[in-house]
Amino acid sequence: MQPDIMTIVNEYNMEINPRTAYKVQVEAKCPFCHGDANNRRKYKFSINAEMHVFRCWLCNESGYVYDLEAHLSNKPYEEVRKKYTKRKLHKAEKLSPKQLEKIEKRHLKVDYEAFKQQFTQIEKEWDDYCLGQKRLLLSKILLSHVLNLDMMSAIHAQVESSEIPNIYSETMHEYLHIETSKEPWAIEVRASIKSLLQDYQSENEHTLMAVLLIRHYKQVGRLKH
């Protein structure tokens, strides 16, 4: 059974515009950015009580009722999703709308039957995406170490936007054991960074990073086709 978005809104005492309380389109204060918190009359968080979706006009945060509950309860999306279903979920169903967005499959969620038919495909594309992201992250970490670059902000930006749980710890684990790693993808990254450094030894770090990114996107492109 799917949760009612207004039940969640009330359960967590979200502040709503009383004039819209019984409408389909309910206005509330944004629990993500709090950008409208200091203006008594402003309610920038829009909730559709029938579709169980929301969007903030300030920070652009949007999603389905599960995303809202996950945020308000501070629980992982998957755990919230599990609460409402008794059967075992397919891996594709456990992906949050934001994760689906990363593999351009979010639009499928509106039609469950269509979504269901692509479970296997979605799972594969998600796994490929995760692998690509881990490869890129490990490459950045290795390169920043070898060239003595401060790439912390680039590394964190990727971790933040990847929507992959544990990507940082898993990748760091491979980095710390890079010489003995048995993970094929980590071995591959190590070899490719070595060849990158050999091929472009006289180039500066910006060129090296550019080549790294070009190689990454080429590889991602190959996986897709």
Interface with Zn ion includes 56 (CB under 5 A)? yes
Phi, psi angle pair for 206, to nearest 5°: -65, -40
Does residue 89 come out as left (phi exceeding 0), alpha (psi in the -120 to 50 range) or beta? beta
Q: Please, what is the minimum distance in Å from the beta carbon of residue 58 to Zn ion?
A: 4
Nearer of residues 59 and 197 to Zn ion, judged by Cβ: 59
Interface with Zn ion includes 223 (CB under 5 A)? no
Q: CA angle 223-216-184, nearest 5°?
A: 70
Of residues 15-44, those binding Zn ion (CB under 5 A):
30, 32-33
Interface with Zn ion includes 59 (CB under 5 A)? yes
Binding part of the chain for Zn ion, among 20-28, 59-67, 169-177, 198-206 by CB under 5 A, reads 59-67
b vs e for 38-62, b when ≥16 Cβ sit within 10 Å of the residue's Cβ?
Answer: eeeebbbbbbebeebbbebbeeebb
Q: Please, what is the minimum distance in Å from the beta carbon of residue 71 to Zn ion?
A: 11
The length of the chain is 225
Nearer of residues 56 and 68 to Zn ion, judged by Cβ: 56
What residues line the site for Zn ion (CB under 5 A)? 30, 32-33, 56, 58-59
